[in-house]
Amino acid sequence: MKFFCIGRNYVDHIHELKNEVPDNMVIFMKPSTALHFNQDPWYIPEFSQDIDYECEIVLKICKNGKYIQPAFADSYFQEISLGIDFTARDIQARQKEKGLPWEIAKAFDHSAVVGSYVPKTSLNLNEIKFQLKKNDEIVQNGNSSCMMYNFNTIICEISKYFTLQTGDLIYTGTPAGVGKVNANDTLTGILEGQVVFNLNIK
């Protein structure tokens, strides 16, 4: 299993972090050890004082593919969920200041939460509404219609460089509203009104 993540795919999120709108799709990866099932408590790692949540639509790849063409891209996923791309924001900032890679801020163990899946046929892929609640307050309110790159474009672009394999997960980017998590927080992911994860922070 591989995790592919798309950075800066929502303009409002780019602006809140005071980043530049990229000229090309931003792709980074996490190893299989990043996976965290939402049924288990999530423990804040000791190496960071500033862990941010980033709620994202997640695509589950259902067959192998390389150099996938647009006409066939939507056949490479049948299930969708929400996940969290946890980010050690303090470490990321330090690495970026020095011009160094920042995998240690994004790809650490359990940094990728994924919820339960729903069939894509039950959704309007062009306008998927989702929310993240932190302690029962909505902190992120997203819609797939606001993505700079849609699902098919993402799949095609990733497959230029990497072979997609059955079970790989694609995190498609986060909208505005990211923020810090603290011990005893509860994060709830809601996909078109359905709770797909409920995560307790320790």
* pLDDT recorded at residue 153: 97
Residue-wise pLDDT tens digits, 70-80:
999 999 999 99
What are the tokens at 186?
A: 């509860």
* pLDDT recorded at residue 38: 73
Residue-wise pLDDT tens digits, 68-115:
999 999 999 999 999 999 999 999 999 999 999 999 999 999 999 999
**Looking at the predicted structure, is the pLDDT value of residue 15 above 70?**
no
Q: List Cβ neighbours of 17 (8 Å cut-off, separation of 6 or more).
A: 178
Residue-wise pLDDT tens digits, 131-150:
999 999 999 999 999 999 99
Residues in the chain: 202
Query: Among all chains, which residue has been given the structure tokens 């005071």?
Result: 18
Rounded to whole angstroms, the Cα distance separating 199 from 197 reads 6
Domains and CATH numbers, the chain: 3-37+50-200 (3.90.850.10)
Q: In the beta sheet, which residues pair with residue 60?
A: 79, 169
Rounded to whole angstroms, the Cα distance separating 103 from 29 reads 8
**Residues 3-13: what's their mean pLDDT?**
88
* pLDDT recorded at residue 17: 61
* pLDDT recorded at residue 16: 72
Query: Among all chains, which residue has been given the structure tokens 């602006």?
Result: 15
**Amino acid identity, position 60:** K
Three-state DSSP class for 183? coil
162-187 b/e (C-beta count within 10 Å ≥ 16 → b): eebeeebbbbbbbbbbbeebeeebeb
* pLDDT recorded at residue 152: 98
* pLDDT recorded at residue 20: 73
76-90 b/e (C-beta count within 10 Å ≥ 16 → b): bbeebbbbbbbbbbe
Residue-wise pLDDT tens digits, 141-186:
999 999 999 999 999 999 999 999 999 999 999 999 999 999 999 9
pLDDT, greater one: 105 or 18: 105
**Amino acid identity, position 120:** K
**Looking at the predicted structure, is the pLDDT value of residue 18 above 90?**
no
Residue-wise pLDDT tens digits, 20-69:
777 899 999 999 999 998 788 999 999 999 999 999 999 999 999 999 99
